[in-house]
């Protein structure tokens, strides 16, 4: 279907809701419409107007459901899908006990292909149309996720995770040279192919030697339109460990900066325990930060200063960090972001939460205008949310006085049951029932 009209409640943003009053920054239509042409949003407006202007275009009417940009997960680890919700450890023990043994299994391309397909299908079922994922040290793990993304028409950012230090198990180590060369070959194979974006991915300073960071900094300088993703200041013990491993560095961020790994297209996961210099420097260079609230609570990392970061205009996006994060749902992630901000004395508005999970995350990944936005010219990667998806949510939403009160119960209590439909590049993904072998759909086609 080349041209297609969707009707429902629509939610778009005219401004950053952290820089403008959060409600005024949003554009809501109770009976809105989105005209999709060749996979992109061609027009937005009122349903009656667009139907009149395009009388021959097929229509899908989503009724009272909310149509907005598909969710964007700014930082996750698809190889950890199989170990999500593993009990009882903090970061370093968690990596050694659960993460590294599972990542070693990705030497097998068949395992990588299975887990990549599973992860992207889980993401789509939860309304996530784009994710930025770490892979493993195996180049085949990168091929697997980009191939799975291509098969689904999804925009995915990913890269080979690089680790050459003896802090990582031997079976998961590369070298400075092989990390550079393998990453370069993967950039040549995937970056810019269809919707793939390559992210140069040193895991974090503790598992790389300075030589490896230097080699990856040189690679990024040669491919400046790639992203660079890594981890920064997630746990207090980790910050102390980095201080011991890099005695010359001014701070944790400096271990990256000194090797050419700080720039606007850098995306730092976590960034909880920062010094004032690190905060100022991140802001100055316009680097992105991925806030991973379910992970930060689950692994016991700390309380990210979301209100402080977002108000400075820094690129901040929400991320699941699965399998450190405990949910594939960006709704659950928004709820955790809300709860953590409350613990720091700030109530994040539902408009701001949705923005962080869509446009904010897209900005963090330098994809603004392309994804994460219900705006003319953007890709038609969309989610349709049922705001009454369970009896508990429905009875609360029924009392709502406005759209924000109607939406907030779904943010706080919703999960994949709230995802009525997902569109990737304008194409409807199979519905929940269809995935279970039942061809029924609650979507009404009213051509």
Which parts of this chain interact with ligand GUN (CB under 6 A)?
A: 77, 91, 95, 99, 203-204, 231, 234, 295, 299, 321, 324
Closest distance to ligand GUN from the beta carbon of 291 (Å): 12
User: Of 269 and 360, which has the nearer Cβ to Zn ion?
Assistant: 269
The site for Zn ion, by CB under 5 A, has a size of 2
Closest distance to ligand GUN from the beta carbon of 60 (Å): 38
Q: Give the whole-angstrom CA distance, residue 65 versus residue 425.
A: 20
Closest distance to ligand GUN from the beta carbon of 417 (Å): 27
Q: Give the whole-angstrom CA distance, residue 256 versus residue 229.
A: 11
User: Of 4 and 259, which has the nearer Cβ to ligand GUN?
Assistant: 259
Q: Is 30 exposed, middle or buried (0-12, 13-18, 19+ CB in 10 A)?
A: exposed
Q: Give the whole-angstrom CA distance, residue 397 versus residue 411.
A: 11
Check binding of 321 to Zn ion (CB under 5 A).
yes
User: Of 95 and 383, which has the nearer Cβ to ligand GUN?
Assistant: 95
Which of ligand GUN, Zn ion, none does residue 259 bind to, with CB < 5 to 8 Å depending on kind? none
CA 43 to chain centre: 26
User: Of 138 and 231, which has the nearer Cβ to ligand GUN?
Assistant: 231
CA 200 to chain centre: 16
Q: Which stretch binds Zn ion (CB under 5 A): 105-113, 264-272, 297-305, 395-403?
A: 264-272
Closest distance to ligand GUN from the beta carbon of 231 (Å): 4
Q: Please list the residues that pair with 45 across neighbouring strands.
A: 33
User: Of 10 and 205, which has the nearer Cβ to ligand GUN?
Assistant: 205
Question: What secondary structure letter does DSSP report for 391?
Answer: H
Using CA atoms, how far residue 193 sits from 147, 198, 442, in Å, is: 11, 10, 35
Closest distance to ligand GUN from the beta carbon of 116 (Å): 16
User: Of 241 and 408, which has the nearer Cβ to ligand GUN?
Assistant: 241
Secondary element (H or E) of residue 76: strand 71-77
Closest distance to ligand GUN from the beta carbon of 340 (Å): 15
Which of ligand GUN, Zn ion, none does residue 234 bind to, with CB < 5 to 8 Å depending on kind? ligand GUN
Closest distance to Zn ion from the beta carbon of 321 (Å): 5
Closest distance to ligand GUN from the beta carbon of 178 (Å): 19
| Nearest residue to ligand GUN on Cβ basis | 324
User: Of 365 and 418, which has the nearer Cβ to ligand GUN?
Assistant: 365
> Read out DSSP for 30-42?
EEEEEEEETTEEE
Q: Which residues of 383-419 are buried (b: 16+ CB within 10 A; e: fewer)?
A: bbbbbbbbeebeebbeeeeebbebbbbbbbbbbbebb
Closest distance to ligand GUN from the beta carbon of 203 (Å): 5
Which of Zn ion, ligand GUN, none does residue 204 bind to, with CB < 5 to 8 Å depending on kind? ligand GUN
Which of Zn ion, ligand GUN, none does residue 208 bind to, with CB < 5 to 8 Å depending on kind? none
Q: Please list the residues that pair with 13 across neighbouring strands.
A: 26
DSSP 3-state assignment of 326? Answer: coil
User: Of 20 and 104, which has the nearer Cβ to ligand GUN?
Assistant: 104
Closest C-alpha among 445, 372, 378 to residue 43: 378
CA 389 to chain centre: 23
Q: Tokens at residue 192, please? A: 């810019």
Q: Is residue 128 within 8 Å of residue 357, measured between CB atoms?
A: no
* Among residues 269, 323, 414, 431, the one that binds Zn ion under rule CB under 5 A: 269
Which of ligand GUN, Zn ion, none does residue 126 bind to, with CB < 5 to 8 Å depending on kind? none
Q: Give the whole-angstrom CA distance, residue 268 versus residue 258.
A: 16
Asked whether the bond before 324 is cis by omega within 30 degrees of 0, the reply is no
User: Of 54 and 111, which has the nearer Cβ to ligand GUN?
Assistant: 111
Q: Return the sign of the alpha-carbon dihedral for residues 220, 222, 224, 227.
A: negative
Which of ligand GUN, Zn ion, none does residue 51 bind to, with CB < 5 to 8 Å depending on kind? none
Q: Tokens at residue 281, please? A: 């420097």
- Distance separating the N- and C-terminal Cα atoms of the chain: 12
307 conformational bin, left if phi > 0, alpha if psi -120 to 50, beta if neither: alpha
Closest distance to ligand GUN from the beta carbon of 70 (Å): 24
Closest distance to ligand GUN from the beta carbon of 333 (Å): 14
| Nearest residue to Zn ion on Cβ basis | 269
User: Of 143 and 321, which has the nearer Cβ to ligand GUN?
Assistant: 321
User: Of 126 and 203, which has the nearer Cβ to ligand GUN?
Assistant: 203
Q: Using CB under 5 A as the criterion, which residues of the chain lie in contact with Zn ion when the complex forms?
A: 269, 321
């Amino acid at each position: 279907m080349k041209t297609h009209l969707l009707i429902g409640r629509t939610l778009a943003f005219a401004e950053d809701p952290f820089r403008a009053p959060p409600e005024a920054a949003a554009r809501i239509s109770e009976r809105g419409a989105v005209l999709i042409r060749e996979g992109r949003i061609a027009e937005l407006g009122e349903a009656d107007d667009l139907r009149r202007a395009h009388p021959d275009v097929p229509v899908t009417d989503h009724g009272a459901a909310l149509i907005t940009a598909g969710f964007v997960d700014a930082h996750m680890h698809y190889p950890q899908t199989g170990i999500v919700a593993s009990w009882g450890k903090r970061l370093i023990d968690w990596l050694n006990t659960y993460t590294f043994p599972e990542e070693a299994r990705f030497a097998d391309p068949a395992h990588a292909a299975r887990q990549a397909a599973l992860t992207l299908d889980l993401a789509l079922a939860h309304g996530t149309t784009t994710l930025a994922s770490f892979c493993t040290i195996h180049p085949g793990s990168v091929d697997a996720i980009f191939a799975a993304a291509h098969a689904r028409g999804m925009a995915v950012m990913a890269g080979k995770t690089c680790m050459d230090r003896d802090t990582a198990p031997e079976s998961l180590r590369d070298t400075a040279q092989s990390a550079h060369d393998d990453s370069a070959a993967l950039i040549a194979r995937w970056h810019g192919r269809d919707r793939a974006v390559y992210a140069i991915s040193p895991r974090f300073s503790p598992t790389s030697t300075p030589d490896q960071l230097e080699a990856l900094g040189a690679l990024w300088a040669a491919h400046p339109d790639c992203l660079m993703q890594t981890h920064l200041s997630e746990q207090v013990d980790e910050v102390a460990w980095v201080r011991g491993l890099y005695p010359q560095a001014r701070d944790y961020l400096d271990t990256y900066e000194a090797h050419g790994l700080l720039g606007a297209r850098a995306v730092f996961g976590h960034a909880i325990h920062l010094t004032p210099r690190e905060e100022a420097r991140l802001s100055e260079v316009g680097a992105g930060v991925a806030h991973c609230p379910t992970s930060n609570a689950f692994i016991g990392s700390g309380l990210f200063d979301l209100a402080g970061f977002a108000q400075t205009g820094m690129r901040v996006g929400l991320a699941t960090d699965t399998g450190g994060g405990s949910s594939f749902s960006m709704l659950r992630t928004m709820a955790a972001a809300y709860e953590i901000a409350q613990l720091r004395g700030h109530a994040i508005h539902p408009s701001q939460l949705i923005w962080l999970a869509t446009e904010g995350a897209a900005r963090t990944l330098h994809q603004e205008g392309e994804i994460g936005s219900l705006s003319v010219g953007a890709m038609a990667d969309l989610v349709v949310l049922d705001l009454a998806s369970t009896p508990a949510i429905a009875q609360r939403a029924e009392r709502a006085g406005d759209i924000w009160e109607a939406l907030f119960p779904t943010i706080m209590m919703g999960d994949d049951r709230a995802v009525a439909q997902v569109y990737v590049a304008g194409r409807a993904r199979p519905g929940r029932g269809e995935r279970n072998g039942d061809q029924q759909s609650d979507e009404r086609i009213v051509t």
